[in-house]
Amino acid sequence: MTEGGIIVRVSGPTVVAKNMAGARIHNRVLVGEDHLPGEVIRLEADRATIQVYEDTTGLGLGEGVTDVGKPLLAELGPGLLGSVYDGVQRPLHAIRAKSGDFIGRGLSSPPLDREKRWEFRPVAREGDVVCPGDVLGVVAETPRVDHLVMVPPGNGGAIRQILAGSFSVLEPVALLADGTALPMLQRWPVRTPRPFRRRLPPTLPFITGQRVFDVLFPLAAGGAAIIPGGFGTGKTVVEHSLARYAGADVIVFVGCGERGNEMTEVLADFPELTDPSSGRPLMERTVLVVNTSNMPVAAREASVYTGITIAEYYRDMGYRVALLADSISRWAEALREISSRLEEMPGEEGYPTHLASRLAGFYERGGRVSCLGGGEREGTVTIVSAVSPPGGDFSEPVTQSSQRIAAVFWALDPALAHRRHFPAVDWKKSYSLYTGAIDDWFRENVSAECTALRGGLMALLQREEELQEVVQMVGIDALQEQERIVLTVSRMVREHFLRQSAYSETDASCRPEKAFLMLKAFLSFHTLCRDLLARKVPVESVLALPFREELERMKELPEEGFRETVNALIARIVTEGGRDR
C-alpha cells in the first residue's frame, strides 16, 4: 500500500485527491479516516479522481487516501455457491452479523470464509508438470457441484508436493518446484477477462424450459440474449424462471440497481426455492450479486464485472454457467452518472459515448470455450440481461446498443402482460440469430421436423396478424371459413402453447421434446380443419370436433407417458383427416 494522498474535492461519490503520482487507473484505494473503498478512474499529473463504493457523507477535505496498489480483485474458490455479495464482493451475511441490517461505513469482510475447512481430494501427483488450468484436486463444494481446484493463470511447473485432507482456502494444497505455494483461493481482476484455450462455435442450445424461447427464438449455449420491456412486463419473473429451469449447472444472478423491494424479494425467495432437477435447494448452485438503486453507483457499475468474473471461473471448470443480469439499464445509468461527474462529453440522452463499447466488452465475456488445462473441458457462460427502457421505448440508447451486440432479442409486450400472458413475448419484434446454427442439434436430438414445425407456427401467427387487421376494419363476419379456422387455431396456440404458467407444477417448464410434439399436434389439427372445409364440411362441425379440448389440456399432462398419449392423439387426427366423407 502507498499512503500520502490528500482529499482536495468531494462531489457525491466522486473524490479528487492530490499526491497520487504513483497510482494507476482502476487501482483500489481506501478513502478518509473510515477507509471507504474506492477506485481510481482518472489521473492528471499527481491528482487522481476516485469513485467511492460507499456513501461519502461526512468525508472532509484534507483526509488521507491510501493506494492499495491493485485493481478490484474477485476472490475465487470454494464457498462461492450459496453466497450473497454486494457489487464489490462483500459478503452480506457476514457483514450483517457485524453491523446489522445496514452496512457500516468502511466495513468489509473477506468474500470467502477464512475459517471454514474444505475436504481436498488431489487428482494430480507429485512430479507431474502442470500448466495454467490443470486440475490439482476436487472439493465437494455442494452436493450438486464439485469444485475443481485449478492451477491459476500465470503459474505452472513440476509439483514438488501435493496434500490431501481438510484445508482452509488460504492454506497451500500444493507446492511447485520453484517454491510457489498454491492454495484453493485465486484472485482475479474483475475487469480483465479470464483466459481460455479457444472459442468454440455456438452450435449447442441453451434450453430455457419456456416454449416460446426454445421453439421460436432459441438461445445458443454461450450466447447472449436481452429481454427489453417496460415496467410490469415480467422481466424479473422470466429471469427467475430461467434460474430454476434453464439447462445450466451454475447460476450467477446479478441484481444491478433494481428497487430495494425487488431485491428483498430475491433474497427472501431464492433460499426457499427448490431445484426441480435435483430436489435440493436452488442456492446450492447459485451465487447472488445484489446492488439496490439507493446504493452508490460506483458499486453498481462494478457489480456486473464481479458477476461475470465468478461466472468465468466456473466456466473454466467445464460447467454450463448462466449469468442473469437485472437490469443492464441500471448499470448504464451508473455509467452515465460517473461520466457526468467526470465532465465527459455526453452522447445520446446523456449516456457516455463509450456506452456501446463497454456493453460489447461485457457481452463478449460470454461464450462457449475450450478451457485451459489438460483434458477436453468445455465450459459456457450464457448471458441473459434484462433491459428497462424508459416508457417501453425500444429506440433508447441502451436497448439499441445491446441489440447490436446480443444475437437474441426477447421483446416483452405490456399488452400481453396486462392480460396475464406469461412470458409476455411479442413474437413480431423478437428474433434469434442462432436458429440456423443450432437447428442441426434440434433435428438430431429432438425432432427431424423441428424446422418445418417452427416455420408452420410462424406462418400461422403471421396470417393471424394479417386477418386481425381485416377484422378491425370490416368485422369478423367478412372472413371466409378458412380464415375463421386460422383465427381459432392461432388463438389456441397462443393461449395453450405460447403461454405458460410460472407457478404450475406441470407447465412451469417444458422440455423441447414435449414442446415440439405439442406444436405438431396443434398444426396437425389445423391441417385437419382445412381439409375438412375443403370437403365442404360445415365450419360449425369442424369447430365442434372433440380434439380441441384434448389439445388444450396437453400442457397439463405429466411427463410420464406424454409422448405416447400425444402421438396417439396425432394419429387420431390424421385418421380423421383421411376418413372418407
Q: What is the pLDDT of residues 269-320, one digit of tens each?
A: 777 788 887 888 888 999 999 887 777 778 888 899 999 999 999 999 999 9
Whether residues 420 and 455 share a domain: the answer is: no
CB < 8 Å & 24+ apart, contacts of 174-182? 174/122, 174/124, 174/136, 174/137, 176/130, 180/155, 182/136, 182/151, 182/152, 182/155
Whether residues 168 and 214 share a domain: the answer is: no
Q: What is the pLDDT of residues 91-114, one digit of tens each?
A: 988 888 877 777 777 778 899 999
Residue 409 lies in a domain: yes
CATH number of the domain bearing residue 58: 2.40.30.20
| Pair 238, 212: CB distance under 8 Å | no
Q: What is the pLDDT of residues 403-446, one digit of tens each?
A: 999 999 999 999 999 988 899 999 999 999 999 999 999 999 99
| Pair 47, 4: CB distance under 8 Å | no
Question: Which DSSP symbol is given to 555?
Answer: G
Q: How confident is the model at residue 581 (pLDDT cuts 50, 70, 90)?
A: low
Average pLDDT, the chain: 89
Full domain range(s) for residue 531: 450-578
Residue 351 lies in a domain: yes
Whether residues 498 and 380 share a domain: the answer is: no
Q: First CA to last CA across the chain, in angstroms? A: 90
Whether residues 423 and 476 share a domain: the answer is: no
Whether residues 470 and 350 share a domain: the answer is: no
Q: How confident is the model at residue 233 (pLDDT cuts 50, 70, 90)?
A: confident
CATH number of the domain bearing residue 364: 3.40.50.300
- Other CB atoms within a 10 A radius of the CB of residue 318 amount to 19
Decide which of 47, 71, 95 is a domain's last residue: 71
Whether residues 475 and 572 share a domain: the answer is: yes
| Pair 358, 339: CB distance under 8 Å | no
- Other CB atoms within a 10 A radius of the CB of residue 344 amount to 14
Whether residues 400 and 455 share a domain: the answer is: no
For 78, 101, 112, 115, 470, the CA distances from 170, given in Å and listed in that order, are: 11, 29, 10, 9, 70
Residue 557 lies in a domain: yes
Whether residues 392 and 275 share a domain: the answer is: yes
CATH number of the domain bearing residue 499: 1.10.1140.10
Residue 358 lies in a domain: yes
Mean pLDDT of 166-193: 95
CATH number of the domain bearing residue 122: 2.40.50.100
Residue 283 lies in a domain: yes
How many structural domains is the chain composed of?
Answer: 4
Residue 85 lies in a domain: no
**For the chain, give me the number of helices (H) and strands (E)?**
16, 28
Decide which of 389, 405, 432 is a domain's last residue: 432
Decide which of 46, 71, 96 is a domain's last residue: 71
Residue 411 lies in a domain: yes
Whether residues 137 and 12 share a domain: the answer is: no
Q: Give the span between the Cα atoms of 206 and 217, in whole angstroms.
A: 11
Q: Give the span between the Cα atoms of 178 and 170, in whole angstroms.
A: 19
For 85, 160, 194, 293, 362, the CA distances from 331, given in Å and listed in that order, are: 17, 46, 21, 10, 11
Cβ-count burial 425-455 (b if 16+ within 10 Å, e if not) = bbbeebbbebbebbbebbeeebbebbeebbe
Q: Give DSSP secondary structure letters for 212-251.
A: IIIIIS-EETT-EEEEE--TTSSHHHHHHHHHHHSS-SEE
Whether residues 491 and 454 share a domain: the answer is: yes
Whether residues 171 and 216 share a domain: the answer is: no
Residue 317 lies in a domain: yes
Whether residues 394 and 522 share a domain: the answer is: no
| Backbone phi and psi for residue 154, each to the nearest 5 degrees, phi listed first | 90, 0
